[in-house]
Every structure is written in structure tokens, then in C-alpha cells.
């Protein structure tokens, strides 16, 4: 594949391509090249587009080691999406990063309850996080859904409790909160909950990563 080079006359900096249609393809070509042939062959082929999109979003190749997929997580996630069930996110930022055109094509709603007045009030009254209260609300409204958690370990902890009590059974949990407090522990917890999950083990993740994983599943593309 050849790219359209652009030269900045003033500085002499060469830009690979500025054509919208070429930028993403060029990015994925670079990512695959750097992952290397050996890795590309060894990596389960259904997981590869998800991993590549996470690296595309973060420029961080450490996800190669840290991104965990439960058995058939990708096919189960795609199946759930094909049936049009909603995606519930823990932050408006993750919701905002999910491709709405792709979601709409599947008839999928993307919802986030963190800013809802009733959630704020319940969090104030109970002293727990708004993220945990949001899970309670989602569980009431959407017993059948995908959870995408990019920020709040307390959301994963609440999900774990509700899964263990049998109250909910998510079709997929994207568990990629980022941070330093409870993040590693909450991810290990959700891994043991017995539901399909895609989890970035360790401290890293984020709303952008949560959205990227959902988009990779929505796009249903090979890389």
C-alpha cells in the first residue's frame, strides 16, 4: 500500500498522509508491523482486531501482555451486539467515544447514568460512589446488557456482587478502569465472576480503551 506524502515546505517535515481514508489503514499497518509476524500468527484471530484498536487508541504496546479475554469473549460480545442489546458505560466519556453510527446500525443504545439526578442523590445518601449506584440503576433498567467500565473500579466491584448474587448476568463486561486505588484488585475480581469479559490487567486502561474495545466489536472488521 502506498501513502500520499505531504511535505511541509516551511519546516521540511514530511507527513505520511493527511487523507482521512488512508490515516487509519496506515496506522493499523504500522501497529501490525510492530507487533511482528510471530505474534500475529500466535494471537487468536478474533482477539487481534480488539487488541490492535486498543493499541491504536493508546499507542501503548503493553496491552499485548495485559489484555485478557475470557473464553469466546469476542464472539459472545459480537453475538450480544448483533442482538441489539444496549451498552452501559460508567462515564459519559466512554459513551462519547463509542461510534454512534456503528451502534445505531445494530440498533444499539449507549447509555450512561453517572450524571442522573437520582444517581447523584442516592450516592450522596449512601456515601458510595456514583459509579456503583449507576450499576444499580442499570441492573434495574437493563437486566440484559453489556457493561463497559473504563474509569471506576467501584463499578466493577458492584457488578461482581450482583453477578454473584444472581441478580444480573451481563452478556459481556469490558473491564478496563485505570488508576491506582482498587483498580488492579477490581479487575482480578471481575475475572473470577464467571461472565464473558475483556479486561486490561494491571493499572492501565481508561474510558478511551473501553470505547475502543466496544468499537472493535461493533466494527466486526478483520485487521
Measured CA to CA, the distance from residue 149 to residue 153 in angstroms comes to 8
Binding track over 122-151 against its own copies, x by CB under 8 A: -x---xxxx-x-------------------
Spatial distance between the Cα atoms of 177 and 135, rounded to a whole number of angstroms: 15
- Burial class from Cβ neighbours inside 10 Å (0-12, 13-18, 19+) for residue 126 reads exposed
49 touching its own copies, by CB under 8 A: no
Q: Is 42 in the site for its own copies (CB under 8 A)?
A: no
Nearest distance from residue 32's CB to its own copies, in Å?
Answer: 11
Binding of its own copies by 120 (CB under 8 A): no
Report if residue 105 touches its own copies, rule: CB under 8 A: no
DSSP 91: S
Decide if residue 181 touches its own copies (CB under 8 A): yes
DSSP string, 139-158: HHH-SS-EEEESS-HHHHHH
Applying CB under 8 A, which part among 70-78, 86-94, 136-144, 213-221 lies near its own copies?
86-94
Secondary structure (3-state) at 54: helix
- Does 56 qualify as catalytic in the annotation? yes
Residue 186 is a binding residue for its own copies (CB under 8 A):
yes
Residue 176 as a binder of its own copies (CB under 8 A): the answer is no
Q: Pick the catalytic residue from 25, 40, 47, 56.
A: 56
Give me the 51-80 binding string for its own copies, x by CB under 8 A, dash otherwise. Answer: -----xxxxx--------------------
* Sequence-separated (6 or more) residues with CB below 8 Å from residue 220: 78
Sign of CA dihedral 45, 51, 57, 60: negative
Member of 14, 37, 41, 222 binding its own copies (CB under 8 A): 14
Under 8 Å CB-to-CB from 132, ≥6 apart: which residues? 123, 152, 154, 155, 157, 158
Positions annotated as catalytic residues are 56
**Binding residues vs its own copies (CB under 8 A):** 8, 10-11, 13-20, 23, 26-27, 30-31, 56-60, 91-93, 95-97, 123, 127-130, 132, 154, 157, 164, 178-183, 185-186, 188-189, 192, 202-208, 211
Amino acid at each position: 500500500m502506498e501513502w500520499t506524502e505531504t511535505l511541509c515546505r516551511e519546516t521540511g517535515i514530511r507527513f505520511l498522509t493527511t487523507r482521512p481514508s488512508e490515516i487509519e489503514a496506515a496506522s493499523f499497518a504500522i501497529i501490525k508491523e510492530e507487533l511482528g509476524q510471530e505474534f500475529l500468527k500466535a494471537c487468536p484471530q478474533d482477539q487481534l482486531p480488539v487488541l490492535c484498536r486498543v493499541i491504536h487508541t493508546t499507542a501503548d504496546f503493553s496491552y499485548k501482555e495485559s489484555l485478557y479475554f475470557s473464553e469466546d469473549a469476542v464472539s459472545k460480545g459480537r453475538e450480544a451486539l448483533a442482538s441489539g442489546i444496549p451498552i452501559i458505560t460508567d462515564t459519559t466519556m466512554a459513551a462519547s467515544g463509542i461510534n454512534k453510527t456503528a451502534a445505531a446500525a445494530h440498533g444499539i443504545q449507549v447509555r450512561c447514568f453517572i450524571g442522573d439526578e437520582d444517581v447523584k442523590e442516592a450516592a450522596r445518601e449512601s456515601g458510595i460512589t456514583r459509579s456503583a449506584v449507576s450499576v444499580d440503576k442499570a441492573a434495574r433498567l437493563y437486566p440484559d446488557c453489556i457493561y463497559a467500565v473504563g474509569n471506576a473500579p467501584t463499578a466493577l466491584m458492584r457488578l461482581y456482587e450482583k453477578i454473584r448474587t444472581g441478580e444480573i448476568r451481563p452478556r459481556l463486561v469490558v473491564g478496563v478502569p485505570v488508576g491506582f486505588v482498587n483498580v488492579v484488585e477490581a479487575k482480578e475480581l471481575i475475572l473470577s465472576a464467571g461472565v464473558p469479559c475483556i479486561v486490561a490487567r494491571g493499572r492501565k486502561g481508561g474510558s478511551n480503551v473501553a470505547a475502543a474495545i466496544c468499537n472493535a466489536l461493533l466494527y466486526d472488521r478483520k485487521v
